Structures are given as structure tokens and as C-alpha cells.
Amino acid sequence: MYLARLIYTSHPSDNFKPEDVENILTASRRNNLAKSVSGLLYFNQNYFLQCLEGSRSSINQIYHKILNDDRHGTPLILEYKEIVERDFPRWEMGYLPETADTRLLYRRFSGADEFIPYHMSGESCHRLMIEMRKLVKAV
Ligand code: FAD
């Protein structure tokens, strides 16, 4: 079973409520554990940035489920790659909200101080998430 990584971004929709983050994480951790999918979700009120790692078919199934969720919209795949090793093996779905520390990272990986993942390369988003990994406190 080929190991793969998918990184996408999306916007929260009008249907999204702040308390949905907790519901999304609970469902994600349950479903991802069952499919050996791991990853990280970053959310800064304007954008979701999520990395999913696991078998190609499991990622595909989970991503299709995510696409049908009306709590977000305009999804864009930023990177899809077959990989030899996971970068986020510890978390069924790690979560990181925006903080002063995450804001400091934007300039390093994009051409602007503002975080607009739609304007970033897949590789920059991937590296940004690797740095974010160090800031995740609890799952
Ligand atoms: P349920 O257990 O029935 O759903 C779990 C909870 O979510 C319930 O409280 C339910 O009321 C609520 N819910 C489900 N779908 C919707 C909806 N469309 N609108 C409003 N509320 C809803 N799922 C994963 O499995 N793995 C992921 O990594 C993952 N990442 C996500 C990232 C983002 C940015 C978003 C928006 C959603 C993500 N989801 C993820 C959730 C996914 O879209 C589905 O909602 C979830 O997989 C449904 O789980 P379930 O089939 O077990 O349904």
C-alpha cells in the first residue's frame, strides 16, 4: 500500500461555527485512526490548511468525505505526493490554531506577511506545516 501525502486548503463557509472545530477533530480522529491516516490541521479563522498522510486509497476516501462537508468551501489541493515516510505519524489529526508564533512563520514561507495558502506553493505549505509541528501542544 503506497504511502502518500495530500495537502489542501479551503475557506470556512457560512455554515461553519467556531464550535465545529471540536466536532471536526473528534470525527477526524475516529475515522483517521480506523484508516491509519495521520496529519495536521491548521486553522486561522480565514483558512483551513490540512495535511493527510496514509495509504493512497485511505487518503482518497477521507478527502472525498471532506470535500462533501458544507462547513467549508473552495478546496484546493496544494500538494499530492507518494512519500517514503510520514511527517506527522503521532497524530490521527493534530490541531494548531493561529498564534503569535504561527504568524511569525508566514513571512518565511510566503511572499507576504499575510497567510494566504492559495498563493503559496505546495512545497512551501509542506515546510510551513513541518515547522508548525513543533508548535502543536496537545492533541
Ligand atoms: P458523523 O460522526 O455523523 O459526524 C461527526 C460530527 O460532524 C457530527 O457532530 C455531525 O453532526 C457533524 N457533521 C458531519 N458532517 C457535517 C456537515 N456536512 N455539516 C455539519 N456538521 C456535520 N473527517 C475525517 O474523517 N478526517 C479528517 O481528517 C477530516 N478533516 C476535516 C477537515 C475540515 C477542514 C473539515 C471541514 C472537515 C473534516 N472532516 C474530516 C470531517 C468530514 O468532512 C466529515 O464531516 C466527517 O468525516 C464525518 O464523519 P462521520 O462519517 O463519522 O459522521
pLDDT tens-place string over residues 50-86:
999 999 999 999 999 999 999 999 999 999 999 999 9
- The structural domains of the chain, with segments of one domain joined by +, span 3-133
Tell me the CATH class for 3-133.
Answer: alpha beta
**Ligand 1 within 6 A of 50 CB?**
yes
Say if pTM beats, i.e. exceeds, 0.95.
no
Q: What is the pLDDT of residues 56-66, one digit of tens each?
A: 999 999 999 99
Under 8 Å between Cβ of 46 and 11 = yes
Burial class (CB in 10 A: 0-12, 13-18, 19+), 11: middle
Is residue 7 in contact with ligand 1, taking CB distance under 6 Å?
A: no
Is 80 exceeded by the pLDDT of residue 139?
no
Ligand 1 atom closest to Cα of residue 52: 28
